Amino acid sequence: MGYPYPSHERETPILSKYFGDAGARTLDGWRQRGGYDALQKAVSMDPQEVQTIVKDSGLRGRGGAGFPTGLKWSFMKPDGKTHYLACNADESEPGTFKDREIMRWTPHGLVEGVALGAYAIYAETAYIYIRGEFTEPYARVCAAVEEAYAAGVLGANVMGSGKRIDVHVHRGAGAYICGEETALMNSLEGRRGNPRIKPPFPAVAGLFGKPTTINNVETLAAVPHIINNGAEWYKQFGRADNPKSVGTKLFSVCGNISRPGNYEVALGFPFKEFLYDLCGGPLPGREIKAVIPGGSSVPILTREEAEGALMDYEGFVASGTMLGSGGVIVFDDRQDMVKQIARLARFYAHESCAQCTQCREGTAWTTRILERIRDGEGTVEDFDTLLSIADGMTGKTICVLSDSCATPVISGLSKFRHEFEAKIVANRSVVNVLGAPRASAA
Ligand SMILES: Cc1cc2nc3c(=O)[nH]c(=O)nc-3n(C[C@H](O)[C@H](O)[C@H](O)COP(=O)(O)O)c2cc1C
Ligand code: SF4
């Protein structure tokens, strides 16, 4: 039995190829699997060339926003200033646990990607900011960094090139907001993890006021493969009719699904096949009711919408949602959507840094109203109140945490309104929350 299931024949395991293979965790093991060849190759090139290859590959940020990585790197010029790379390993988006597995199984793959990224943006110092709760990934990444220093992969003479790259691992303290790139920088500087107003953008004035690039773990871990195999190789993965979304993507799957876990597929993969063939579909006797495809911050899809979606940036937008972080959360017919959406709102209210009035008050009031409806004490006016609060929370704050709370509320109210109405009118849930198998289960 592989990790945690054998790879499905329709997966494209590039980043996940060595998940479950403990031998890949050590420096020697990583080298035996072709590790650090890309870094060796890159340090003999001009950083500009590395930027160009990544730009040509079409790689887009896997942290949520999908910003083109090569373009982001091209903002970093050889200007003689101190530059920094920050690797965002804070991974706290509900439903998302792909970066965790990269760090647990292939920590050297991440270290190599971080060193490559630092080199490409003319930085001698990189930070890996790891979610505080990630005990094992933290230990694995620290061990890999230590081994890399001892072997001369990091430090004053990277792979014998005479170039310097230092990597520091920093452990967070359990705040979701520190995954927002400017909050992450404040936290690294030892300040409260509050997002900063942009501009200035990090590429102009970031960490310690210096030009900085922030990239997600999965983004950086993809770079060695691109340097080894070339931009054209990477571009072959994806839909022929959508050159904007290329490469492979890790999707974390959780909730009411037969085979939860991480799956790596080429972008553009049909979501229906993904849910039913790769992930095994719903639990026996159950039916999928709703899916959040990209972490808790993106609009909820009904089963019908999910089954028609294609798994890439544009495909999910065409279906009314977003790719986000790739955290797929599945709800079956036992789930009370009022309760689920109230639960999400409570998360955002708890994690708001409270700088912006719309977010501080909006997330708190949204939670209170949703919990009141959940408890059978809602009124029909609550619909308008919730939508009006959601409007005030969208596009008006320092960061998008506020929008992220409004999104599932707006999509949930429009798609599962009958469940809210049943709670308001008769304090009745329209689902069988006890979960007795449906009659048609046989
Ligand atoms: C509230 C909030 C939380 C975020 N959390 C993460 C996170 O845990 N990991 C991550 O990579 N990006 C996270 N992001 C996105 C980052 O701000 C940033 O866009 C990303 O790290 C850039 O990397 P990429 O270009 O490689 O995707 C978050 C954004 C927001 C608004
Ligand atoms: S939107 Fe919310 S989390 Fe983001 S800066 Fe404003 S108060 Fe803080």
Q: Looking at the structure, tell me whether residues 279 and 393 fall in a common domain.
A: no
Domain tally for the chain? 3
Q: Is the pLDDT of residue 429 over 90?
A: no
In a domain, 262, yes or no: yes
Q: Looking at the structure, tell me whether residues 167 and 297 fall in a common domain.
A: no
The pLDDT value given to residue 5: 75
Q: Which atom of ligand 2 is nearest to the CA of 352?
A: 3
Residue whose pair of structure tokens reads 């990209």 in the numeric block = 294
Of 296, 315, 332, which residue is a domain's last? 332
Nearest CA to ligand 2 atom 8: 353
Choose among 323, 245, 246: nearest CA to 291: 323
**pLDDT confidence band for 441 (50 / 70 / 90):** very low
CATH code at position 255: 3.10.20.600
Which residue type is seen at 236?
Answer: Q
Q: Is the pLDDT of residue 425 over 90?
A: no
CB of 287 within 8 A of CB of 333? yes
Q: Is the pLDDT of residue 213 over 50?
A: yes
Q: Which ligand is nearest to the CA of 212?
A: 1
Q: Rounded mean pLDDT of 41-47?
A: 97
**pLDDT confidence band for 440 (50 / 70 / 90):** very low
Q: Looking at the structure, tell me whether residues 52 and 196 fall in a common domain.
A: yes
Mutate to test the pocket of ligand 2, among 90, 93, 176, 177 (most ligand atoms within 8 A of CB): 177
Give residue 438 CA to ligand 2 midpoint distance, Å. Answer: 43
Q: What percent of the chain is modeled with pLDDT above 90?
A: 94
Give residue 63 CA to ligand 2 midpoint distance, Å. Answer: 18
Q: What is the pLDDT of residues 353-411, one digit of tens each?
A: 999 999 999 999 999 999 999 999 999 999 999 999 999 999 999 999 999 999 999 99
Mutate to test the pocket of ligand 2, among 181, 351, 399, 403 (most ligand atoms within 8 A of CB): 399
Q: Is the pLDDT of residue 428 over 80?
A: no
Measured from CB, residues less than 6 Å from any atom of ligand 1 are 61-65, 67, 88, 90-93, 177, 179-181, 214-216, 219, 399-401
The pLDDT value given to residue 437: 45
Choose among 393, 287, 309, 299: nearest CA to 344: 299
Q: Which ligand is nearest to the CA of 185?
A: 1
Mutate to test the pocket of ligand 2, among 194, 352, 367 (most ligand atoms within 8 A of CB): 352
Q: Looking at the structure, tell me whether residues 159 and 180 fall in a common domain.
A: yes
C-alpha distances (whole Å) from 207 to each of 86, 125, 187, 196, 354 are 9, 11, 10, 11, 22
pTM of the model: 0.96
In a domain, 13, yes or no: no
CATH code at position 381: 1.20.1440.230
Q: Is the pLDDT of residue 231 over 90?
A: yes
Most confidently predicted of 7-11, 217-221, 410-414: 217-221
CATH code at position 172: 3.40.50.11540
Q: Is the pLDDT of residue 433 over 70?
A: no
**pLDDT confidence band for 431 (50 / 70 / 90):** confident
Q: What percent of the chain is modeled with pLDDT above 70?
A: 97
Q: What is the pLDDT of residues 264-294, one digit of tens each?
A: 999 999 999 999 999 999 999 999 999 999 9
| Domain extent at residue 170 | 22-235
The pLDDT value given to residue 177: 98
CA distance 287 to 357: 40
Measured from CB, residues less than 6 Å from any atom of ligand 2 are 177, 195, 352-356, 359-360, 397-399, 401-402
Q: Rounded mean pLDDT of 84-89?
A: 98
In a domain, 165, yes or no: yes
Q: Looking at the structure, tell me whether residues 72 and 200 fall in a common domain.
A: yes
Give residue 328 CA to ligand 1 midpoint distance, Å. Answer: 17
In a domain, 96, yes or no: yes
The pLDDT value given to residue 439: 43
Q: Looking at the structure, tell me whether residues 269 and 226 fall in a common domain.
A: no
Say which range, 237-241, 382-386, 396-400, 432-436, has the weakest mean pLDDT: 432-436
The three-state secondary structure class of 214 is strand
**pLDDT confidence band for 2 (50 / 70 / 90):** low
In a domain, 291, yes or no: yes
Average pLDDT, the chain: 95
Give residue 365 CA to ligand 2 midpoint distance, Å. Answer: 15
CA distance 297 to 299: 7
Give residue 390 CA to ligand 2 midpoint distance, Å. Answer: 14
Q: Looking at the structure, tell me whether residues 210 and 307 fall in a common domain.
A: no
Q: Looking at the structure, tell me whether residues 76 and 135 fall in a common domain.
A: yes
Q: Which ligand is nearest to the CA of 349?
A: 2
The pLDDT value given to residue 432: 57
Mutate to test the pocket of ligand 1, among 130, 182, 184, 216 (most ligand atoms within 8 A of CB): 216
The beta-carbon contacts of 98-102 under 8 Å, at least 24 apart in sequence, are 98/218, 98/250, 98/251, 98/252, 98/262, 98/325, 98/326, 98/327, 99/137, 99/216, 99/217, 99/218, 100/131, 100/134, 100/137, 101/16, 101/19, 101/250, 101/262, 102/15, 102/217, 102/218, 102/221, 102/250
